[in-house]
Amino acid sequence: MIKNVTPKTKVTQEINRSNYYSNRMDWAYMSATLLKNFMQCEAQALHSLKNPVENDALPLLVGNYLHSHFESDEAFESFCNEHKSKLFTRTNTLRADFKKADKMIKRLESDAMFNFFYNSPENEKEVILDGELYGVPWKARIDSLNVKDGYFCDLKTTQDLHKRYWSVERHEWVSFFDQYNYALQMGAYKKLLQQKYHKPFTCYIFAIDKTDSPGLAALEVPFDEMEEQLNVIEEYQPRVLQIERDEVIPARCGVCDYCKQTMQLDGFIKDPQELIS
């Protein structure tokens, strides 16, 4: 582990729903999204942190469309008004991706298990949480939280629940859950909740895919996988802090858009196999 790294410094402004995703709060707090960005490509993550742009990618908008619907009527109306030009055509017709999202919403609403756990009247939606993990300020946003019964839910959308992804690190096919390392995110959320409420919490993921007939899955995230990823956080985040402070040079993955756009040739490749290694 890298020693003697000063943690991020909290800003005096309170973190809330309006500033949670702001660049200012990304500098002040670590988060699962930020850490995973650095794990994928340190160079691109640092560039994005220093040169923030609005993330209006379609998959993100579709995900937020679903989340705001299940948060409250007010939140859904506000989201639709804010992103009206992205949701509707010039003739005021809902675009195809959001028609599909409506189908996904109806599928979720028709499921008794989803409604019992995610939509329980005792649950609080989109809960902003902050705390510390291994001496570093962290932020989290919990989709659906039931403090009384000691569980929290996360709603995930994915291309196809049964799609497999090749893991270079593990040398095997993995599910969407492992591909996007949701165990790290859920492990951080669980630890932050337990620190705040001084009780154990169980994590459930409700996943729905974007196929023509949306498939559903309910996952109870394994404790050992979350513990393993908490160890990853403890070991890796000191390096992220050093990168943010320009104390070490960020590694380049070589394959992301940022790396491809900024790469400078420095010699000839003699073995073409290096291109796929």
Q: Give the lowest-confidence range in 76-90, 125-139, 167-181, 263-277.
A: 263-277
Structure tokens given for 182: 């949701």
Beta bridge partners of 129: 140
Residues 138, 31: contact at Cβ < 8 Å?
Answer: yes
Residue 60 pLDDT class (50, 70, 90 cuts): confident
Instruction: Answer whether residue 7 shows pLDDT above 80.
Output: no
- pLDDT by residue (tens digit) across 185-228? 999 999 999 999 999 999 999 999 999 999 999 999 999 999 99
Query: For the residues 158-162, what does the mean pLDDT come to?
Result: 94
pLDDT at 276 (0 to 100): 77
Q: Return d(Cα 9, Cα 122) in angstroms, integer.
A: 34
Instruction: Answer whether residue 52 shows pLDDT above 80.
Output: yes
Residue 169 pLDDT class (50, 70, 90 cuts): confident
pLDDT at 168 (0 to 100): 84
Between the CA atoms of 125, 180, 139 and 247, what dihedral angle is there, to the nearest 10 degrees?
Answer: -170
By percentage, how much of the chain surpasses pLDDT 90? 82
When the pLDDT of each residue in the chain is averaged and rounded to a whole number, the result is 92
Instruction: Answer whether residue 3 shows pLDDT above 50.
Output: no
pLDDT at 12 (0 to 100): 59
Residues 87, 94: contact at Cβ < 8 Å?
Answer: yes
- pLDDT by residue (tens digit) across 119-159? 999 999 999 999 999 999 999 999 999 999 999 999 999 99
Question: Which has more confidence, 111 or 269?
Answer: 111
pLDDT at 9 (0 to 100): 64
Residues 6+ apart with CB under 8 A from 32: 140, 184, 185, 188, 189
- pLDDT by residue (tens digit) across 76-113? 999 999 999 999 998 889 999 999 999 999 999 999 99
CATH architecture, domain 23-261: Alpha-Beta Complex (3.90)
Query: For the residues 217-246, what does the mean pLDDT come to?
Result: 97
Q: What is the DSSP string of the chain?
A: ---S-PPPPPPSSPP-TTTTTSHHHHHH-B-HHHHHHHHH-HHHHHHHHHS------HHHHHHHHHHHHHH-HHHHHHHHHHTHHHHB-TTSPBPHHHHHHHHHHHHHHT-HHHHHHTS-TT-EEEEEEEEEETTEEEEEEEEEEETTTTEEEEEEEES-TT--EEETTTTEEE-HHHHTTHHHHHHHHHHHHHHHHSS--EEEEEEEE-SSS--EEEEE--HHHHHHHHHHHHHHHHHHHHHHTTSSPPP--SSSHHHHHH----S--S-GGGGG-
Domain spans, the chain: 23-261
Residue 10 pLDDT class (50, 70, 90 cuts): low
pLDDT at 5 (0 to 100): 45
Q: Return d(Cα 55, Cα 57) in angstroms, integer.
A: 6
